[in-house]
Amino acid sequence: MKRSSWQIEKAVVFALILRELKTRFGNRLVGLFWVLFEPMANIATMLVLRVVVRQRTVGVMIDTAVYLVVAAIPFFIFRNIWFRMMSAVDANAGLFGYRQVKPADAMAARTIMEVVMYTMIFVAFQLIFAWMDYRWVPDKPLEYLGVVSVFIIWGIGAGLMSAVAVKKFPAINTFLQLTSFPLYITSGVLIPITTFPPLVIQILLWNPLLHLVELSRWAFFPTYHPLMGVNLEYPLAVGLALLFLGVSLFFVNRQRVLLRS
């Protein structure tokens, strides 16, 4: 029986996901351990700092560990989708000789893998929080999923644009990799933005990711009050613009991205 184009597409993406799993983790758990270790290390570092200054919570009925996880995991999803999509074409270059395999399939496989993997990490953290009698269920689950979805849109848009840019200007690859840490700090994932002076806060509010981080905590904790001026419309509009530009650039340069660096 002849398969439809949709069935072929699903089979190709699934095969690429399996290949990605084998490439990244192989027969060992070292790769998976590192993925789990990074957010746990950030949380542990922040917890130690707060114990040192004798400040165990960040608000009314808000546990520090949960406060960090509910914003860090969506940010890591955005960042990893961005960087994994950026390198997806080169990593799977040998497969594009097959007519069914396209660069977009490799990017889709990596995006799905990152979302599923970090969803599993998030669930694992929530189970630990439930055992520790911390808050583990979002106060506004649909709003929280919506914020995470905007993070994913940002990751896909940035990934598509970066994949084209790196092919045209290979030297900017390192620069793009280095931008993740400043974004991480200025988005308020690790350091609460309220600790900065008011003038600095007004400047940081131009960062759309800061709005998403604040809204992720607002959706999770009933007692959390986001910064004045935070809204969803701004990061959503910028994210959709990034996605539109990314899709357009990738479509126009779809032959260029197939060239080896």
**Out of 25-29, 32-36, 207-211, 240-244, least confident range:** 25-29
161-190 CB burial, b ≥16 within 10 A, e <16: bbbbbbbeeeeebeebeeebeebbebbbbb
pLDDT of residue 136: 84
pLDDT of residue 91: 78
Distance of alpha carbon 195 from alpha carbon 159, whole angstroms:
31
Span 84-140, pLDDT tens digits: 998 888 877 777 777 788 888 889 999 998 898 889 888 888 898 899 888 888 999
Q: Give long-range contacts, CB 8 A cutoff, 24+ apart: 170-174.
A: 170/261, 173/86
pLDDT of residue 146: 96
- State whether residue 24 is helix, strand or coil: helix
pLDDT higher than threshold 70 for residue 211: yes
| Whole-number percent of the chain with pLDDT over 70 | 84
The pLDDT confidence band at residue 159, using thresholds 50, 70 and 90, is very high
Q: What is the mean pLDDT of residues 16-31?
A: 73
The encoded tokens of residue 49 equal: 């700092």
Q: What is the mean pLDDT of residues 140-167?
A: 93
Distance of alpha carbon 62 from alpha carbon 30, whole angstroms:
33
DSSP letter, residue 3: P
Dihedral class, residue 180 (left if φ above 0, else alpha if ψ from -120 to 50, else beta) = alpha
Max mean pLDDT range (122-126, 221-225, 233-237, 247-251)? 233-237
**Mind giving me the DSSP string for 86-133?**
HTHHHHTGGGTTSTT--HHHHHHHHHHHHHHHHHHHHHHHHHHHHHTT
Nearest to 226 by CA among 239, 236, 237, 211: 211
- The whole domain housing 112 covers 5-258
Q: How many domains, in total, are found in the chain?
A: 1
Nearest to 208 by CA among 119, 122, 147: 147
pLDDT of residue 67: 87
Nearest to 165 by CA among 250, 95, 228: 250
**Mind giving me the DSSP string for 138-168?**
-SSHHHHHHHHHHHHHHHHHHHHHHHHHHHH
pLDDT higher than threshold 70 for residue 255: yes
Q: 240 and 217 in contact (C-beta within 8 Å)? A: no
pLDDT of residue 82: 94
Distance of alpha carbon 256 from alpha carbon 246, whole angstroms:
14
pLDDT of residue 237: 96
CA distance readout (Å), 248 to 5, 244, 253 = 23, 6, 9
Max mean pLDDT range (16-30, 54-68, 111-125, 226-240)? 226-240
pTM here is 0.89
pLDDT higher than threshold 70 for residue 260: no
Q: Quote the distance between the C-alpha of residue 112 and its chain's center.
A: 11
pLDDT of residue 47: 65
